Structure 1
């Protein structure tokens, strides 16, 4: 099986006509404000290399590296703006002591977008995500606020990130029924180390017209073999600053299970003559719901390596090994619905071919 492609083999984003590259450039590493990112010169090299290869899909957020990510991106893209699809997010608190400076509500949304437009040096955002569901803002407020931004021309397309499947599907249905701008992208954590989105989020997105954009497809570097079992003993902090190791621990990516998965990734990579990062990234692209995984390199060498994922070809046996070592329990009701007894009750003796 193959993912053979280039950054110029563009894909449609969800049920829109927007064309995006099969790998998205993540810019959470743009800026060293958090203690582990790329300085301005290295970030510029990352940007230029990605765009020169034909990449057009760039991901940032309102407060990545304290806002430096958007500011640097705005500088880098000044003479290339129209050829790029710029995605940013709102929700993160811009001032920790201000109760309305973060969250999903309209005030936070509008002010965050206005500040992002200034930092990016542009008059519109191609794709705006709600960053994280806050469980306090009514969905109608969110959807109407987003639709207003589209009608004003400040935003072109809408997406959502890190939100329960039932809430996303509810929002998409409301938007459709009321004639508001639909969601076309769903950004979620997805990798060999984190496959639980396969239960409901990814199938829901595929059914309802949202392209899945995986973040952390390398599980924070765990799948590259960067970490050892001795790293499990370090205590995590909730603060994203300091070291990348701390971020991985805080997200619970560094576990015994994930290190075992990384070991198998290494064996498959050796058999293919590819790197672990290339194998892990290529595996996410095998899911038909996935549009464009986000690659968050800190060095040009890492970026070059990650782009090689588009040339990886898996045999059925290699894919089966990766699927087996990373398998998850589908949970209820998925397990129950697959039971022979239940299938017999539903279909009797009739043979029905499923769509998937």
Structure 2
């Protein structure tokens, strides 16, 4: 089995494995997923390969995912301190309480207390704001998150599914106030979803944030299984199955065939090679799926294949990034840039 290496999370000294185990599939409360025994087996295999970074959320399987992880720590008598456990707050988990959702301080404190009980632990290693609510002031969020760190209930903080300007404002405000800053950014990112390259990834690089892509295999579309007739759980009208996505997937399959590896290895290698602080989140409901994903770490795509994949999946970067490229700003050609401005004026 491939043994994982470690990297530092963001600008912190926290050492995390080069793949993060996504546990949204732990539990069967939503009618699908891994049962308790299968979930324990996946955790075991992940740890045996050197994996220590585990991702969950208060809302996953109505809390069952967190509860399974808590039972794993208790029943298997594993070293809790070996694992870097990440969970999230924000999404609604209670229909009777108007403050049982959102980014506000009240929901944050309530959610963390619930997560600590389900996870059967005294602390959360990494706490994410799950999704931006466009209501709560970011100043309120940063102060509340810092309070949790000072209380010893949370070690590090991160943010997910949020506009780049909000993340930037939050980290800048925290730096000004001497509070804890975000160490990581979680976004959907894959060969079929490259729009984070417009604002989110440049912002993450500027602040030294680790990037944790969710759905790096695009819900399994990039494995090619849907092209082979596997109905799976993806909707037929999904953008992951449109003509452009199918063509990109075929490129992945062709390159995988040349290397003699699963298509998932090529898709994950592409994501990892986009940014040196990138840690893909790989979900699994079977240990065989996890082992295949871990095997991707042995693959390093040659520049020619990276170029093929980039060309097949390229997106419109929009203004101002495309304007910068045309003007030569990325090559430090500022003379050409100003010449063009003069001509346009």
TM-score strictly above 0.5: yes
Q: How many angstroms apart in 2 are the aligned matches of 1:164 and 1:179?
A: 23
Alignment of 1:18-29 (within 5 A): 18-29=14-25
TM-score normalized with structure 1 length: 0.89
Paired residue for 1:268, among 238, 255, 268? 255
User: Residue 234 of structure 2: SS of its match in structure 1?
Assistant: helix
Q: Which moves more between the two structures, 154-163 or 300-309? A: 300-309
Q: Which moves more between the two structures, 84-93 or 257-266? A: 257-266
Higher relative contact order (CA 8 A, sep 6+): 1
Report the counterpart of residue 32 of structure 1 in structure 2.
28
Paired residue for 2:50, among 43, 47, 54? 54
Report the counterpart of residue 71 of structure 1 in structure 2.
67
Answer yes or no: is the 8 Å Cα contact 2:10–2:277 preserved in 1: no
Q: Shift in Å at residue 267 of structure 1?
A: 0.3
Q: How many angstroms apart in 2 are the aligned matches of 1:349 and 1:295?
A: 42
Aligned pair in 2 of structure 1 residues 68, 173: CA closer, same or farther (>3 Å)? same
Q: How many angstroms apart in 2 are the aligned matches of 1:69 and 1:341?
A: 48
Report the counterpart of residue 291 of structure 2 in structure 1.
304
Deviations 1:255-301 (A, max 9, x none): 33222211110000000000011111111110225431000011111
**Are 2:245 and 1:258 aligned?**
yes
Answer yes or no: is the 8 Å Cα contact 1:203–1:289 preserved in 2: no
Answer yes or no: is the 8 Å Cα contact 1:59–1:88 preserved in 2: yes
Report the counterpart of residue 239 of structure 1 in structure 2.
none
Answer yes or no: is the 8 Å Cα contact 1:157–1:183 preserved in 2: yes
Q: Which moves more between the two structures, 18-27 or 90-99? A: 90-99
Q: Shift in Å at residue 218 of structure 1?
A: 0.2
- CA RMSD, Structure 1 to Structure 2 (Å): 2.2
Q: Shift in Å at residue 338 of structure 1?
A: 1.8
Q: Shift in Å at residue 328 of structure 1?
A: 0.8
Report the counterpart of residue 109 of structure 2 in structure 1.
110
Q: How many angstroms apart in 1 are the aligned matches of 2:276 and 2:153?
A: 28
**Are 2:320 and 1:320 aligned?**
no
Report the counterpart of residue 346 of structure 1 in structure 2.
334
Q: How many angstroms apart in 1 are the aligned matches of 2:133 and 2:325?
A: 34
TM-score normalized with structure 2 length: 0.91
Answer yes or no: is the 8 Å Cα contact 2:327–2:337 preserved in 1: no
Report the counterpart of residue 85 of structure 1 in structure 2.
84
Aligned pair in 2 of structure 1 residues 260, 36: CA closer, same or farther (>3 Å)? farther
Q: How many angstroms apart in 1 are the aligned matches of 2:112 and 2:40?
A: 24
Q: How many angstroms apart in 2 are the aligned matches of 1:244 and 1:139?
A: 35
Report the counterpart of residue 291 of structure 1 in structure 2.
278
Aligned pair in 2 of structure 1 residues 48, 229: CA closer, same or farther (>3 Å)? closer
Q: How many angstroms apart in 1 are the aligned matches of 2:12 and 2:201?
A: 17
Aligned residue-pair number: 333
**Are 2:162 and 1:163 aligned?**
yes
Report the counterpart of residue 353 of structure 1 in structure 2.
none
**Are 2:137 and 1:138 aligned?**
yes
Report the counterpart of residue 342 of structure 2 in structure 1.
none
Structure 1 unmatched runs, 5+: 235-242, 351-356
